[in-house]
Structure 1
Amino acid sequence: MVKFEEFPISSANYIPGYKVVEEKGFVYGLTVRARGLGGDIGAGLKGILGGEIKQYVKMMEESREESIGRCIEHAKELGANAIISVRLDSDSISQNMQEVLAYGTAVVIEKE
């Protein structure tokens, strides 16, 4: 997995302190995760009692990191050294499966 600090990404259309010298194209990373029975039981109790469902929060954080990591790998395959205009999208595929998609524009940047 690529470390994010070693490969600049930004939701803006630029990376501060750098200029875009070449666009490499659209890149994305996708992951799908299933909730386990233990998480569903805990979620059911939280649904009754109220409060944050920590198992789901952890699952979504891991999914976000995985999808961004895959997006970075895709950008590296195209010869990019950064991704701009990064967006994240999440959706339920079924009652217990969640997908997370990271996407953006792969670019080559240089210091200004």
Structure 2
Amino acid sequence: MPKINVPVLTVDSLPGRQYEYLGCVTASCCLSKSIVQDLSSNLKNWTIGGELNQYRAMIDQSVALVMERIAEQAVKTGADMVLGFRLSTTSVSSGAAEVIGYGTAVKLEK
């Protein structure tokens, strides 16, 4: 599937631009690591500390998927872009995390 080229912005408004609000768009992603990867990360956490790269990569991948899904939802509404994009994370279980994103789909007026 080709990448959808819809800007997903954290700003709440675009001064000087007129646009129509089309509604809220949402997306989520819940990824997990295998038990071996989870044990490896826990062992590092309990012994030497430092950044848990496997979890960081998992969260980065989740954020990218959420932004892609938000853009897909925006296209379905006929939007040109998404404003007010926000993210939230939750721990679903050991070794798994959910990333939730939402924003406002808008159509620019010509």
Q: With the length of structure 1 as denominator, give the TM-score of the two structures.
A: 0.85
Which blocks of at least 5 consecutive residues in structure 2 are unaligned? none
Output the CA distance in 1 between the equivalents of 2:68 and 2:99.
Answer: 12
1:30 lines up with 2:14 in the alignment = no
What is the match of residue 97 of structure 2?
98
Check the 8 A contact 1:20/1:107 in 2, yes or no. Answer: no
Residues paired across the two proteins, number: 109
Give the letter aligned to residue 21 of structure 2. Answer: E
Cα deviation for residue 45 of structure 1 reads: 2.2
What is the match of residue 45 of structure 1?
43
Output the CA distance in 2 between the equivalents of 1:44 and 1:2.
Answer: 37
Q: With the length of structure 2 as denominator, give the TM-score of the two structures.
A: 0.87
- Cα deviations by residue, 1:32-90 (Å, 9 ceiling, x for unpaired): 11121232122122211111111111100000000111111111100001000000001
Runs of at least 4 residues off by over 2 Å = 1-4
What is the match of residue 14 of structure 1?
13
Root-mean-square deviation (Å)? 2.0
1:87 lines up with 2:75 in the alignment = no
Output the CA distance in 2 between the equivalents of 1:95 and 1:54.
Answer: 16
Give the letter aligned to residue 9 of structure 1. Answer: V
Give the letter aligned to residue 46 of structure 1. Answer: K
Cα deviation for residue 110 of structure 1 reads: 5.0
Output the CA distance in 2 between the equivalents of 1:35 and 1:24.
Answer: 36
What is the match of residue 70 of structure 1?
69
Matched residue SS, 2:17:
strand
Output the CA distance in 2 between the equivalents of 1:96 and 1:66.
Answer: 18
Q: Percent identity?
A: 32
